[in-house]
Structure 1
Amino acid sequence: MYADETGDMGVPGISGVSRYFGCGTAVFRGEHGERIWQGLRLRCDLERRGVSLPKGRHAKDDSQSTRDEVFDVIKDQRPRIDATFLYKGNAHPSVRERQQWLYKLAWFSHFRQIVSQVSGPGDTLYVIAASLTTSRKVMNAREALRDVCGQFDADREIVLCVWDAQSTWGIQVADYSLWAVQRHLENRPCKWFESHVKPNVRSLLTPWGRHE
């Protein structure tokens, strides 16, 4: 399971602050080394053609042509995609200004729905999550994720890995898929959602409702 998050954790209503904070996962069952190799091969091929990717791919920043190629690979690989978005406008006041709580609540809402669907008793589930670029004084993302994962490992082994997004293709799959799902949720154009991402989306959860 490769995991990423999207949106900021700022107080809603302020200019430039996102309406939602979301998290999502891309799941590959069993051995998937060939899929990882396909992602690396694409990155190398893009570099050969003059696309500099020292920090890997990021859907928000990449060009349209790069997105075309990345989404084509994701479509062929067919990972299971799940996403959970919290509408911050409906957050309890005690949560709005506490980033740690918002982050943990988003991941708890997501994991409690997904973990039992992608793993069973006795399984080992590797949760490979993107590291969060925020001040440790504000929030320790690894600690928050460890607390969430620890609530679900009674009958299965959950191995948490918090890695830089550029270190693995799987996190970039989660990033791209989550970016497309968010644009769909916010009624923003995304030409890849219906054809490349939606067929692999198993769930889109909005436990705090949606913006009207």
Structure 2
Amino acid sequence: MTRYQYERGPLERELRKLFGERQIGDAHCRLCIPAFDGFTEVHIFKTPHHPDFKLDWREEMVTAALATSAAPTFFSVYRNGERRFADGGVWANNPVMVALVDALSCHDLNRRQVQILSLGCGESEMLISDDQVRLGGLWHWKEVISSAMRLASQNALGQAGLLIGRDQLVRIDAPLMPDNPIELDDYYRAKQVLLPLAAPLASTFDEVVSQRFFAVPVDPYEAFHGSRAG
């Protein structure tokens, strides 16, 4: 209750095996990775796919991964030099608008040219209880953070759909779980429950995803800074 649950070391070692010392600027696809700056500001790690994006390309991929995954209560705040980072899900649990705003601001696009594939991670049913209505109070609203994150996700999807057209947004998510939600760190139950839920979703969306998002290979983006800059 008074201390984070897990040490970061094992996660960092696995990330280091995967990414080594590669920098964000080495990525071949455009990236926008949300985090929460310890000075109470949002931060988005970005590849140098625009001339103005000069700050993050030198950062190691491991740094961005540890910053965006520093989920409060599970891990301590991630320290990178003098900076402190927490999980980007605190403010961008569904980053669909982060990506859309970046695309529209960095490129001369008509909104209807944009298509979005959004992947959810499942949700539990959210209902306001009688005690919350009658009594209020911190105890009865102790799960309000989860509710706020879910509502923020719904709002982001709604905004994106209004901007580009709902038919331009493909959202794939598991059915609502009415009770006993899977805890974020319950890997074993997630594997048992989510894999069977994924099979029918893959079958339902296979054709539309293949045709709209994976039919044509995409060339690496033009980098304006770093080792890949022309």
Is TM > 0.5 for Structure 1 vs Structure 2? no
> Which structure has more RCO (C-alpha within 8 Å, separation ≥ 6)?
1
Structure index of larger Rg: 2
Per residue, is there more strand in 1 or in 2?
A: 1
